[in-house]
Amino acid sequence: MGLVVTALRASLIIALATSMAEGSSKLYWTL
């Protein structure tokens, strides 16, 4: 059970990091 929670948390962190990276790159290119 704990393994599933850890995997979900990891995927959530990865998704958040990728979305933030895309947003910052878009912000950089607009400047």
| pLDDT (0 to 100) of residue 10 | 96
Torsion of CA 19, 25, 26, 27, to 10 degrees: 110
Question: What is the average per-residue pLDDT within 10-17?
Answer: 93
Alpha-carbon gap, residue 31 to 18, rounded angstroms: 20
Buried b (16+ CB within 10 A) or exposed e, 3-28: eeeeeeeeeeeeeeeeeeeeeeeeee
Instruction: Give residue 26's pLDDT.
Output: 80
pLDDT score of 1 more than 80: no
The pLDDT, as a whole number, for residue 9 is 97
